[in-house]
A = this chain, B = another copy of it.
Amino acid sequence: MTINGVDTSTLFATIDVVKGQPELAQFQFRATNRWISGTHNRSTINGYFGAGQEHTRATDHRYDADHPPVLTGGDNGPTPVEFLLHALAACLTSGLANIAAARGIPLTEVSSTVEGDIDLQGILGIDKTVRNGYRGIRVSFELRGDATQEQLAALVEQSRKRSAVWDVLTNGVPVTIDVKAG
CB proximity of A77 to chain B, nearest CB, Å: 7
CB-CB under 8 A for A81 and B89, given A70-B51, A137-B175, A177-B139: no
Interface size on A, residues (CB 8 A): 132
By beta carbon, the residue of chain B nearest A108 is B35
- Please, how many angstroms separate the alpha-carbon atoms of A165 and B116 in the complex? 12
By beta carbon, the residue of chain B nearest A91 is B80
- Please, how many angstroms separate the alpha-carbon atoms of A121 and B84 in the complex? 23
Task: Show 25 residue pairs from A and B whose CB-CB distance is below 8 angstroms, ordered by the A residue.
Answer: A5-B38, A6-B39, A28-B116, A33-B86, A33-B89, A33-B114, A35-B96, A43-B86, A43-B90, A45-B82, A50-B70, A50-B120, A73-B94, A81-B165, A83-B83, A84-B87, A131-B167, A132-B166, A132-B167, A136-B175, A136-B176, A137-B173, A140-B180, A148-B182, A170-B175
Q: Which residues of A contact B (CB under 8 A)?
A: 4-7, 10-11, 14-15, 18-19, 22, 25-41, 43, 45, 48, 50-51, 55, 57, 61, 63, 65-68, 70-75, 77-98, 101, 107, 109-127, 131-144, 148-150, 152-153, 156, 160, 162-182
